[in-house]
Structure 1
Amino acid sequence: MDDGAALATDVCLPNAGAGPRPAVVLRTPYGRHHHHAELRAWTAHGFAAVAQDVRGRHESDGDWRPYHHESADGAATLRWLRSQSWSSGPVVAVGSSYAAHCALTAALDGDPTGRADAVIAAVPALGATATAREPLGPERLFSRAGWWAAHGDRPDSDPDALDRALAAEPRLLEHLPVSALPEHLGRPLPSWRGVWSDEHPDPLTPEDLRTARVPLLAVGGTRDPFVRDTHRLWAQWGGPVRLLIGPWGHGLTADPGPEAHRGHRLNLGRLYVQWARAALAGTLGQGRRGALALGGSALWCPATDAPHATLIRDFGSHDGPRPLRGTSFVADPVRPVRSDRLDVPDTGTPDRCLLLTAPLSRPLDLLGPAELRLTATADASPADWAVRIVTLDPEGTADRLATAVVRRTDPAGTAAEFTVPLGNLARRLPTRTRLRIEIAGHHFPAHVRQPHTGEDPVTATRLLASHRTVRPDGSALVLTAGRGRGVDPVQEICR
């Protein structure tokens, strides 16, 4: 590196005598040794392939400070790579999750010798702030606790650290303040408090993304927690960009959702190779294209198709969601609505506003953005509003469709009108499906509990209940519906 630190790097080359080749580089905090099969697969297609442990991880020198060194270290790595006799010059930066962040920063260096020529970013973790908080404020607890327990402030990884801690103490994440979590994990974690700080802004700003000019392939899953970041990356990228979204979780094709169809099975490795060749050859068309899997069907649909219809379903209307058990509830952080359960208590004080639609009379394809328009009152400020849309099949089996949490600072006791964005949906709902809409004040342990005391939720030590009311006459569910038009995802991505 530029400061003399040595980063452990594995190089896998095509057969001897092949001559200089374009290269693929993958920089990761999760152990470069896990990617040897991936390197060999790239070399089988004629690429030189490089995997590197980022600074401070595994066998690399330096201090491990997540997201702080990747831009400079990535540029230094690319300059070194291009100086090697086996390199013909062009470089594709690839990676998933944190490694996708590393790949993206490699596309933004001002020096062409330190800048990648194309990027493949899967389930991208765009930066520390972007991964720690929802776009509209609330803190993500469970995923960040798991990641930092496994990888924070250590040169290696312990993927099961949080699971073991929760097995020993099931109420671990309930301890206050949230900032003191390391004391209950039983090991030093000095960087934990900084997870929630805005002191170091994320290096991938919207302005950076808009000024990027190299080709990008953004890959994600509808059940991945970073799927909205993947869509945003695609929408803001300045160069030729392609989007692939399947019915998958963070593990992509190895982590399919129950709505996945055998037609959604893809060989992502072959797709990556084909796209990389087209990107380096300059044969990709300009602008944005992509393919979205329509969950519950066998279809892949173009990401750029114009929506056919916007469905606005007013609460309480004949074709809209109808309230069950009233529209007032108590958001009590001592007994929060759980993110890891879909059952709903049918006795006691309501802990959420619950609404239900009539069964669908025919199948419905949801393809595009969804939102909830609310007119609501909270007797505390700030107040978090958690919205969950659940599908119910004719037998009553529940499945998540969309979730969002937003933070509002409206004056306490004042009715406010606001919108909760639910992201982009891609799901076919069969006949007789019903939608259950849940509006609550918490979504725990996925998100930190709002204490309703005016304190920072991360450092708060007191919890108070908040009374909430939703006004049906000013609220609506807004969906985008269209008839799916099938495309070949590989052709759509690579042209």
Structure 2
Amino acid sequence: MTEEPRREHLCRAGDGAVLRGRIWECANPEGLVVIRTPYDADQHETTARSWNARGYHCLVQDVRGRYRSAGAWSPYAHEEDDGGRVLAHLLDEYEGLPLVLFGASYAAHTALEAARAVARDGAPPVSAIIALVPALGLAETAWDTQGAPQILHRIGWWHEHGRHRRSQPPLPAGELDRRVAQAHELGVVEAAEHWDWSPSTLTGWRRLWSAERVDLASRYGRIDAPLLVISGDDDFFHDDARRLARTWPAPSHFASGPWGHRLVAGVADQVLRAGIRAAGGLTRIVDPWLAAQGLPGSPAEWTEVLTAASVPHTRSTLDSASGTWRHEGNSP
């Protein structure tokens, strides 16, 4: 698939804020992939080019208040309305191309929220959604499924990504440990008042710890696009990913393997990495799943498990020891 130069893409949100991104185009596209991220659109060229190679244009957009997009950054506050406006713009701009929403972690949340906006507004539906290690909402990032606070993760993320237009260097290990100890001693909200955070950051921090968990059936119950969820056995959002796939109102496929939040990139064990490579990695799931939805991809025999109407929720599990995926027509 011939690669074309990337170009700037602009979309005006409902309140007039200009949302900026980069679109990587290919010759003779058969689809369009959208990624909305708080982690700098310019850093996603490798991912975008991998979609170009499959036959998709790929838009990577900075979410509101991050990097090149205007507005104030407030995590998990604007992704439904902003995402819906972006998709409406793209459906006009690229009329006739099937639209796939893709994202990992926070970008998985933006994908789900954009699809929710489309369903709410009665617009033409998206063709497919791929959510990797999804961070579903504020409460899901703050608390694990047993109700224990994720203090270390949240302090680190908020310091690095939650306060400014651009991500900041991570806290030194000693300082992070000191703040975690303060949070245990003083309370997670009260301790933050000692960290030289701005009033707006403190407001967002309080909102994080008072948020309620997402009722997935209610929130996404009107979406009829097929969903692929990719999780990791060692990811701290693993249970939420299973819950998302299990409650999805349309057909869903859940895939998981022996990795954490960084997926295969975070696997340090070389023997384990070799086993994952022998199984074809995540490409062995993504490409056949796309083809099974009638989208550009690579067909595989295993996707027969996706076609049984009586089993709308299916799953794949990677066995790295044998270097094979196991595919089941069972609910996740």
Q: Is 1:32 the equivalent of 2:46?
A: no
Name the structure 2 match of 1:157: 167
Alpha-carbon contact 1:26-1:93 (below 8 Å) kept: yes
Displacement of 1:295 after TM fit?
A: 5.8
Q: Residues of 1 paired with 2:87 and 2:213: CA distance?
A: 22
Q: Residues of 2 paired with 1:4 and 1:202: CA distance?
A: 30
Candidates 112, 115, 126, aligned match of 1:107: 115
Name the structure 1 match of 2:289: 275
Displacement of 1:227 after TM fit?
A: 0.6
Provide Cα deviations, 1:433-474, integer angstroms capped at 9, x if missing partner: xxxxxxxxxxxxxxxxxxxxxxxxxxxxxxxxxxxxxxxxxx
AA at the equivalent of 1:300: W
Q: Secondary structure at the match of 1:238?
A: coil
Q: Sequence identity of aligned pairs in percent? A: 35
Alpha-carbon contact 1:106-1:115 (below 8 Å) kept: no
Displacement of 1:140 after TM fit?
A: 1.4
Displacement of 1:294 after TM fit?
A: 3.6
Alpha-carbon contact 2:36-2:110 (below 8 Å) kept: yes
Uncovered stretches (5+) of structure 2, i.e. residues with no partner: 1-12, 297-302
Q: Which has the larger radius of gyration?
A: 1
Displacement of 1:236 after TM fit?
A: 0.8
Q: Is 1:195 the equivalent of 2:208?
A: yes
AA at the equivalent of 1:205: L
- Say how many residue pairs are matched: 298
Displacement of 1:28 after TM fit?
A: 0.4
AA at the equivalent of 2:57: A
Candidates 268, 271, 289, aligned match of 2:314: 289
Displacement of 1:238 after TM fit?
A: 1.4
Q: If the length of structure 2 is used for normalisation, what is the TM-score?
A: 0.81
Q: Residues of 1 paired with 2:321 and 2:153: CA distance?
A: 27
AA at the equivalent of 1:105: E
Q: How does 1:7-86 map to 2 (within 5 A)?
A: 7-15=19-27, 18=28, 21-84=30-93, 86=94
Q: Secondary structure at the match of 2:140?
A: helix
Alpha-carbon contact 1:32-1:52 (below 8 Å) kept: yes
Q: If each structure's strand is expressed as a fraction of its own residues, which one has the higher value?
A: 1
CA separation of 1:21 and 1:300: change in aligned 2, threshold 3 A? closer
CA separation of 1:146 and 1:272: change in aligned 2, threshold 3 A? same
Candidates 178, 183, 200, aligned match of 1:171: 178
Displacement of 1:203 after TM fit?
A: 5.7
Displacement of 1:103 after TM fit?
A: 0.8
Alpha-carbon contact 1:120-1:218 (below 8 Å) kept: yes
Q: Residues of 2 paired with 1:136 and 1:142: CA distance?
A: 16
Q: Residues of 2 paired with 1:45 and 1:29: CA distance?
A: 24
AA at the equivalent of 2:275: G
Provide Cα deviations, 1:12-66, integer angstroms capped at 9, x if missing partner: 1112xx3x64210000011111111211221122111100000111111111111
Q: How does 1:47-446 map to 2 (within 5 A)?
A: 47-84=56-93, 86-109=94-117, 110-113=120-123, 115-160=125-170, 162=171, 164=172, 166-168=173-175, 170-175=177-182, 176-188=186-198, 189-190=201-202, 191-198=204-211, 201=212, 205-256=216-267, 260=272, 262-265=274-277, 266-269=280-283, 271-281=285-295, 285=307, 286=309, 287-294=312-319, 297-304=322-329
Displacement of 1:219 after TM fit?
A: 0.2
Q: If each structure's helix is expressed as a fraction of its own residues, which one has the higher value?
A: 2
Name the structure 2 match of 1:340: none
CA separation of 1:170 and 1:225: change in aligned 2, threshold 3 A? closer
CA separation of 1:51 and 1:297: change in aligned 2, threshold 3 A? same
Q: Secondary structure at the match of 2:129?
A: strand
Alpha-carbon contact 1:5-1:62 (below 8 Å) kept: yes
Alpha-carbon contact 1:94-1:119 (below 8 Å) kept: yes
Alpha-carbon contact 1:293-1:299 (below 8 Å) kept: yes
Displacement of 1:180 after TM fit?
A: 3.1
Q: Residues of 1 paired with 2:44 and 2:273: CA distance?
A: 28
Alpha-carbon contact 1:27-1:52 (below 8 Å) kept: yes
Provide Cα deviations, 1:302-349, integer angstroms capped at 9, x if missing partner: 34469xxxxxxxxxxxxxxxxxxxxxxxxxxxxxxxxxxxxxxxxxxx
Q: Residues of 2 paired with 1:169 and 1:244: CA distance?
A: 33
Provide Cα deviations, 1:267-297, integer angstroms capped at 9, x if missing partner: 4356434423432459952412221124655
Q: Residues of 2 paired with 1:290 and 1:169: CA distance?
A: 37
Q: Residues of 1 paired with 2:268 and 2:328: CA distance?
A: 20
CA separation of 1:8 and 1:79: change in aligned 2, threshold 3 A? same
Name the structure 2 match of 1:4: 16
CA separation of 1:305 and 1:92: change in aligned 2, threshold 3 A? closer
